[in-house]
């Protein structure tokens, strides 16, 4: 879409056009990648459609987890019984694969890294539900939590189709970990960013000609529901 009355974030990047090339669940916080010109929509969309990028998430689950690391490849499809829900569908579902590993533990909850290799709707949430450890705060497939949905998109890595170099983008994780009572795992803090890694929380110093830009959707606690909701 065009940006005629952009806010500071758009103005600081001299944006006149911005279109997201992938989606996050409405309650999920973290990284969103957008393109800054119509001609970039196709090449960047193909990165996601062709599975040519690596995505990483932080997620807090209810114990017990099945292992220190594991992979789920349950096929997923719509749940005909309720609009907006999906389910494991071994007969007609689409292929889906997610890799998980434990980062930290506390009381009855565990902090995981999730790396999906496909991009099905609610994929991480359903694969964790099938693993017997639902995402904390998942109202759709588990239980509501005042801290919100414990799922955050924290990393993207891909070969940029225009700059011809490897791009690594990391979202801040400190507020998310603090909200769920975890210390930031070693190597996941602000000092994790290295040369060539974008910081999506502030405008890049020299990026007026870049074809893409990353923004961060903040983690927000669940809102209290009023009567009748």
Is 25 designated active site? yes
The CB density around residue 160, as the number of other CB atoms within 10 Å, is: 16
Sequence-distant contacts of 135-138: CB under 8 A, at least 24 apart: 135/59, 135/60, 135/61, 136/60, 136/61, 136/62, 136/109, 136/180, 137/27, 137/222
- For the chain, how big is the Rg over CA atoms in Å? 18
Catalytic annotation, pick one of 7, 25, 138, 175: 25
Which residues are annotated as catalytic? Answer: 25
């Amino acid at each position: 879409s065009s940006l005629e009355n952009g806010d500071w974030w758009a103005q600081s990047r001299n944006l006149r056009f911005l279109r997201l090339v992938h989606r996050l669940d409405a309650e999920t916080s973290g990284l969103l990648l957008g393109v800054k010109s119509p001609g970039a929509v196709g090449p960047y969309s193909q990165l996601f459609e062709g599975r040519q990028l690596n995505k990483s998430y932080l997620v807090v689950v209810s114990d017990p987890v099945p292992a220190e690391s594991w992979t789920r490849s349950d096929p997923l499809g719509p749940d005909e019984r309720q609009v907006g829900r999906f389910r494991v569908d071994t007969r007609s579902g689409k292929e889906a694969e997610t890799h998980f590993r434990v980062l930290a533990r506390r009381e009855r909850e565990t902090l995981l890294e999730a790396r999906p290799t496909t991009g099905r709707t609610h994929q991480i949430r359903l694969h964790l539900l099938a693993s017997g450890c639902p995402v904390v705060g998942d109202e759709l497939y588990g239980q509501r939590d005042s801290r919100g949905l414990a799922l955050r998109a924290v990393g993207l890595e891909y070969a940029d189709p225009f700059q011809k170099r490897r791009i690594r983008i990391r979202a801040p994780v400190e507020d998310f970990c603090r909200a769920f009572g975890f210390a930031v795992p070693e190597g996941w803090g602000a000092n994790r960013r290295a040369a060539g890694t974008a910081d999506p929380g502030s405008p890049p110093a020299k990026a007026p000609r870049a074809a893409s830009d990353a923004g961060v959707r903040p983690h927000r606690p669940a809102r209290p529901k009023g009567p009748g909701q």
